[in-house]
Amino acid sequence: MTFGPTWNNLRDNIDALQSGATLVTPLSRKAFAIEDVQEHRVLIQYRDDDETIPLQKDQFETLYERVSESQGKFDVDRLPPDAEPYATVLSLHPRFEVDDRAGTLTESEQSTGSPLVEAQSGSEDSNETEREEPDLDVYADALLLIDALERHDVGSLEAVDTPALVNIYTLLSDVQRNANDLRKDVRSVLLDRLHHDQPVSGQFGSVQRTTRRNRSLKDAELVLNAFESAGIERERLTTVDSSKVDEALEVTELSESDVYDIEPSEYVRKADVDEQEKETRLQGLKDQLEATEGDEADELRSEIEELEDRIAELTEFRSGRSFHESSAGG
């Protein structure tokens, strides 16, 4: 089958997208929008980027041929990084689908729709979405910590009184513990979505899947026998210690696997942090409050004041003496 009818069908489906639709690339998850559809190309623009990028018809045809040559299933990680948008846009055609978890672009006779049309930015309903407070321990602890940090000059800790430092230290500990628990939950989900050594970017940074080797010494007798057979006397390894074992490995022909049980484990490591983006986002939240007017602003400020009173009560440090004195006075 020639590519002409497929191209025309694809253009029709792009034209049918709602205005302001946001699409994302299948691996790096970079958001972009389609600016225009022309006879021989599609113009896109990445979020927070003023440059318009043309996606050429002949490149779509090449990708179409690659999918056909792969018997209907093409591994998206074979694409160059700057070619990811081609897979996303092609998935708008009813015969093509991107499975971003499996990392494949497939062709079938069934109409599937694209899972990579992620949001409708600029729609009338976008500003009406109510923000909900997540039921997470780390969220509540973080609010308390933010308030405590705003109330005290932590740039000069020596000048902060002891009760305040106790509060801040306690909240830091709670945030660290609960954030780490949530991080592990997020990591387990991300591992199913990341491809090895393929960085995936978000708004504030990027992560990638990496393999870590975990070593543990085998049974002590087995290790001692292995080194004895290699000419290392037992007296040199009276106790099986990993540092002594590594030193002995350097002077023998034994391999690590002879004395260690080695199991690779997959994990997610932070590859980059965009501190400027984080600062911009925080400033944007402050500006949003300042720009709010009317009854909505009054209601929001009232809610903030109530939250501040609640936080002050929760974070207040009082000695046993002051507690009893206030009770007696009441």
Q: What pLDDT is attached to residue 249?
A: 82
Q: Are residues 176 and 144 in the same domain?
A: yes
Is 303 within the bounds of a domain?
A: no
316/200 Cα distance (integer angstroms): 42
Q: What pLDDT is attached to residue 25?
A: 86
Q: What pLDDT is attached to residue 318?
A: 44
The domain boundary residue, chosen from 107, 123, 146: 107
Q: What pLDDT is attached to residue 118?
A: 55
Is 70 within the bounds of a domain?
A: yes
Mean pLDDT calculated for residue range 166-195: 86
Q: Are residues 38 and 94 in the same domain?
A: yes
Q: Taking all residues of the chain, what is their mean pLDDT, rounded to a whole number? A: 76
Residue 268 predicted with pLDDT over 70: no
Q: What pLDDT is attached to residue 231?
A: 83
Mean pLDDT calculated for residue range 11-27: 83
Q: What is the pLDDT of residues 276-304, one digit of tens each?
A: 765 665 566 556 656 665 556 566 666 66
The domain boundary residue, chosen from 273, 292, 309: 273
Q: Are residues 30 and 93 in the same domain?
A: yes
Q: Indicate the number of domains in the chain.
A: 3
Q: Are residues 56 and 12 in the same domain?
A: yes
Q: Which domain holds residue 224?
A: 205-273
Is 288 within the bounds of a domain?
A: no
pLDDT band at 252 (very low <50, low <70, confident <90, very high): confident
As a three-state string, the secondary structure of 316-327 is: CCCCHHHHHHHH
Residue 29 burial (10 A CB sphere; 0-12, 13-18, 19+): middle
Q: Are residues 164 and 211 in the same domain?
A: no
Q: Are 315 and 167 in contact (CB under 8 A)?
A: yes
Q: What pLDDT is attached to residue 55?
A: 94
Q: What pLDDT is attached to residue 128?
A: 44
Is 309 within the bounds of a domain?
A: no
Is 159 within the bounds of a domain?
A: yes
Q: What pLDDT is attached to residue 136?
A: 85
Is 306 within the bounds of a domain?
A: no
Q: Are residues 246 and 180 in the same domain?
A: no
Is 305 within the bounds of a domain?
A: no
pTM of the predicted model as reported, rounded to 2 decimal places? 0.41
Q: What pLDDT is attached to residue 122?
A: 41
Q: Are residues 261 and 221 in the same domain?
A: yes
Considering only residues 278 and 121, tell me which one the structure prediction assigns the higher pLDDT. Answer: 278
Residue 319 predicted with pLDDT over 80: no
Q: Are 142 and 175 in contact (CB under 8 A)?
A: yes
Residue 124 predicted with pLDDT over 60: no
Mean pLDDT calculated for residue range 138-154: 85
Is 116 within the bounds of a domain?
A: no
Looking at the chain, the whole-number percentage of residues with pLDDT higher than 70 is 68
Q: Are residues 186 and 214 in the same domain?
A: no
Task: For 205, list phi and psi in degrees, rounded to 5.
Answer: 170, -160
Q: Are residues 50 and 98 in the same domain?
A: yes
198/27 Cα distance (integer angstroms): 8
Q: Is 197 left (phi over 0), alpha (psi -120 to 50) or beta?
A: left
Q: Which long-range contacts (CB under 8 A, 24 or more apart) does 110-116 make?
A: 114/23, 114/88, 115/91, 116/23, 116/24, 116/25, 116/26, 116/88, 116/91
Q: What is the pLDDT of residues 49-94, one digit of tens each?
A: 888 999 999 999 999 999 888 887 888 888 887 899 999 899 888 8
Q: How many helices (H) and strands (E) does the chain have?
A: 11, 11
The domain boundary residue, chosen from 273, 293, 321: 273
Q: Are residues 9 and 102 in the same domain?
A: yes
Q: Are residues 243 and 263 in the same domain?
A: yes
Q: Are residues 89 and 23 in the same domain?
A: yes
